[in-house]
C-alpha cells in the first residue's frame, strides 16, 4: 500500500478509507495514542491503538524518536487539535530508538543544545518549521526571477578574484601544507599548485555574474559563498548562500525597485504558503520576547513585521539625509548608541539602521548614495566625486538585508578606483576589459539568503536557519 503524507491526510475528509502513514514518534500516551510526524507539516497525525490489539513487546518499542509504518482507518477525531486521526489496524517498527539515550525528549530544548546535535535537530518543531520556510523561500526566489525573464547562472565556487577586496578568504590548494614548494624568493610557489596560481572559495558571484548580464541582459546567481572572518556573532557564518541578480540597462533607481519587488514578493509568498509554520514561529517568538526586558522587546510580532513589509512602501533617502537624522536623534544626543554618529562619512552600524526603520520612519528603508571611501571599488562614482551609486535595504529587527549598487561601467573611472585602492589590476584584467568591449550601464545587488530566513522566521541566531552552520572552530557535521 502506498504511503500518504500527513499534510495531505489532514486536509482529507474522513470516509473510513484505509490509509498508510510513516514517520517518527513525537509522543506515545497511555499505550494508546501515538503522535506521528513525517516532516511534511508541523502538525502531527494521531494514530490510535486499540487496547490489547498489539503485544507488550511491540508496545515497549514505540518510543519517542522511533520510526513507524502504520496502516489504519482514517476517521473523524474526537480529540482537540486535529480533525482526523488514524485507527490503527497494522503497525510495523521500521527503526527502534533507545528512549534513555535519545537526546530529543518531549520537552523544550535550548537552541544552543540543538546545535550540538545538528544531525538530530531537524526532528524538532522549530528547526523543521524553519527548514520548510527556507525551502519555500528558495523556490519563490527562482519563481520570481523566472517570471521576469532572468537567467539563472552558476558562477564559480573556486575563484581567483576577491570581489569585496576584503582579504578574508578560504584558500584552495593541493600543495603540501608542511613542506610547500618555494620560489627563488622563499615564497610559496603557487605555479606548482593545482590551478597554477592562488585560488580561494568565492566571497561573491557578482563579478562573474556581470559578464553574463552584459550578454544576456538579466541574470541571477543563487549559491554558496564563503568568508573567513573570525566572527563569532549571531549574524555571521563562514559559509552562507547569496542571491545576486545583475542587470544590464538598470540604473540605481531600477535596482532599488527590483530589490523592493523581490522582498515584498518573497514575504507575501511566505504569508500565503507557510501559514502553519509561521503561526508556530510567531508564537515561539512571542514567548522569547516575553523573557526580554521591556525596552528590548520588539513593538511588532513576527507576523506583524511580515505584513509591515508587504503593506508599506519603502522609504528612500540618501546617506547624507540619514546622517542628519541620526546626528539629531535622541539616542545619539544622549549617547545611547554604542557608536555615536558625529560626522558624515562613517559606516552605519546595525543599531543606526534599525533606528531609522523601527523608530524614525516605522517602515522599510532604502539608503543610497554612500561615501565612496566606505564602499567597494566597482560601484559607480557620482558626479560629486564623494559618493557612489550604492544602495542598502534596511528591515525591522535585522538592519541591512540587501546591499547593491549601480556598477561602474566607465573604464577610466574603474581603473582609477582600482589603482586608488591598491587592488591587483593584473588579476582584474578581464573585469576591466568588459568596459572596453560594448560596455553598458548595469546594476545589481546581493541578498543574503540566511538573513532573509532570519527575518521571515523570527529566529535570532543565523546558525539556526541553515542546516549545518559553519563558523569559527565548528565544522563537525
**What's the CA gap between 446 and 257, in Å, rounded?**
14
Alpha carbon separation from 385 to 75, 155, 320, 382, 440 (Å, rounded)? 72, 32, 14, 6, 21
110-149 per-position pLDDT tens digit = 999 999 999 999 999 999 999 999 999 999 999 999 999 9
Beta-carbon contacts of 52 under 8 Å, excluding residues fewer than 6 positions away, are none
| Domains (range + CATH), the chain | 6-104 (2.40.50.140), 123-168+203-464 (3.30.930.10)
Q: Which residues of the chain have pLDDT under 50?
A: none
pLDDT at position 166 is 55
**What's the CA gap between 210 and 191, in Å, rounded?**
28
306-326 per-position pLDDT tens digit = 998 999 899 999 999 999 999
**Contact in structure between 64 and 102 (CB atoms under 8 Å):** yes
**What's the CA gap between 237 and 241, in Å, rounded?**
10
pLDDT at position 402 is 97
**Contact in structure between 363 and 313 (CB atoms under 8 Å):** yes
pLDDT at position 83 is 92
pLDDT at position 473 is 83
pLDDT at position 262 is 98
pLDDT at position 474 is 82
Crossing angle for the helix pair 449-457 and 275-289, to the nearest 10 degrees: 80
**What's the CA gap between 27 and 310, in Å, rounded?**
38
Rounded to whole angstroms, the maximal C-alpha distance in the chain is 85
According to the 3-state scheme, what is the secondary structure of 336-397? CCCCCCCCCCCCCCHHHHHHHHHHHHCCCEEEEEEEHHHCCCCECECCCCCEEEEEEEEECC
DSSP 316-338: EEEHHHHHHHHHTSHHHHTT-SS
pLDDT at position 162 is 64
pTM of the model: 0.94
pLDDT at position 167 is 59
pLDDT at position 293 is 85
**What's the CA gap between 87 and 276, in Å, rounded?**
25
Task: Find how far residue 344's CA is from the centre of its chain.
Answer: 31
**What is the pLDDT of the chain when averaged over all its residues?**
94
**Number of Cβ atoms within 10 Å of the Cβ of 316:** 16
192-222 per-position pLDDT tens digit = 999 999 899 999 999 999 999 999 999 999 9
Amino acid at each position: 500500500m502506498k504511503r500518504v503524507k500527513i499534510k495531505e491526510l489532514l486536509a482529507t475528509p474522513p470516509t473510513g478509507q484505509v490509509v498508510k502513514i510513516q514517520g517518527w514518534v513525537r509522543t506515545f500516551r497511555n499505550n494508546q495514542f501515538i503522535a506521528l510526524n513525517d516532516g511534511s507539516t508541523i502538525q502531527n497525525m494521531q494514530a490510535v491503538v486499540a487496547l490489547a490489539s498489539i503485544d507488550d513487546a511491540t508496545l515497549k518499542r514505540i518510543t519517542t524518536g522511533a520510526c513507524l509504518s502504520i496502516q489504519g482507518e482514517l476517521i473523524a477525531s474526537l480529540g482537540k487539535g486535529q480533525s482526523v486521526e488514524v485507527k490503527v489496524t497494522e503497525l510495523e517498527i521500521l527503526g527502534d530508538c533507545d528512549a534513555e539515550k535519545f537526546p530529543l525528549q518531549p520537552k523544550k530544548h535550548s537552541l544552543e543544545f540543538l546545535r550540538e546535535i545538528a544531525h538530530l535537530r531537524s526532528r524538532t518543531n522549530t528547526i523543521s518549521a524553519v527548514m520548510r520556510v527556507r525551502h519555500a523561500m528558495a523556490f519563490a526566489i527562482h519563481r520570481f526571477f523566472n517570471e521576469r525573464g532572468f537567467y539563472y547562472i552558476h558562477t564559480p565556487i573556486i575563484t581567483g578574484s576577491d570581489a569585496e577586496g576584503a582579504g578574508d578568504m578560504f584558500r584552495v590548494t593541493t600543495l603540501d601544507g608542511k613542506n610547500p614548494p618555494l620560489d627563488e624568493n622563499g615564497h610559496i610557489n603557487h605555479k606548482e599548485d593545482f590551478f597554477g596560481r592562488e585560488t580561494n572559495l568565492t566571497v561573491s558571484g557578482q563579478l562573474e555574474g556581470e559578464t553574463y548580464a552584459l550578454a544576456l541582459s538579466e541574470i541571477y546567481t543563487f549559491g554558496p559563498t564563503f568568508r573567513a572572518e573570525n566572527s563569532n556573532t549571531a549574524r555571521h557564518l563562514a559559509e552562507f548562500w547569496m542571491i545576486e541578480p545583475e542587470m544590464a540597462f538598470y540604473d540605481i533607481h531600477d535596482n532599488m525597485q527590483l530589490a523592493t519587488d523581490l522582498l515584498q514578493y518573497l514575504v507575501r509568498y511566505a504569508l500565503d504558503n507557510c501559514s502553519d509554520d509561521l503561526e508556530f514561529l510567531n508564537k515561539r517568538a512571542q514567548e522569547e520576547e516575553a523573557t526580554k526586558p521591556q525596552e528590548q522587546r520588539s513593538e511588532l510580532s513576527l507576523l506583524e513585521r511580515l505584513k509591515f513589509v508587504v503593506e508599506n512602501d519603502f522609504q528612500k533617502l540618501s546617506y547624507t539625509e540619514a546622517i542628519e537624522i541620526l546626528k539629531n536623534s535622541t539616542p545619539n544626543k544622549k549617547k545611547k548608541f554604542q557608536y555615536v554618529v558625529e560626522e558624515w562619512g562613517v559606516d552605519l552600524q546595525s543599531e543606526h539602521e534599525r533606528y531609522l526603520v523601527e523608530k524614525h520612519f516605522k517602515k522599510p528603508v532604502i539608503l543610497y548614495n554612500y561615501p565612496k571611501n566606505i564602499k567597494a571599488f566597482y560601484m559607480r562614482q557620482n558626479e560629486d566625486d564623494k559618493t557612489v551609486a550604492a544602495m542598502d535595504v534596511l528591515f525591522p529587527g535585522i538592519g541591512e538585508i540587501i546591499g547593491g549598487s549601480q556598477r561602474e561601467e566607465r573604464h577610466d573611472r574603474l581603473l582609477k578606483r582600482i589603482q586608488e585602492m591598491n587592488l591587483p589590476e593584473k588579476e582584474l584584467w578581464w573585469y576591466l576589459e568588459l568596459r572596453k568591449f560594448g560596455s553598458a550601464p548595469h546594476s545589481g545587488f546581493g541578498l543574503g539568503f540566511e538573513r532573509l530566513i532570519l527575518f521571515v522566521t523570527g529566529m535570532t541566531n543565523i546558525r539556526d536557519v541553515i542546516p549545518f552552520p559553519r563558523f569559527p572552530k565548528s565544522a563537525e557535521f
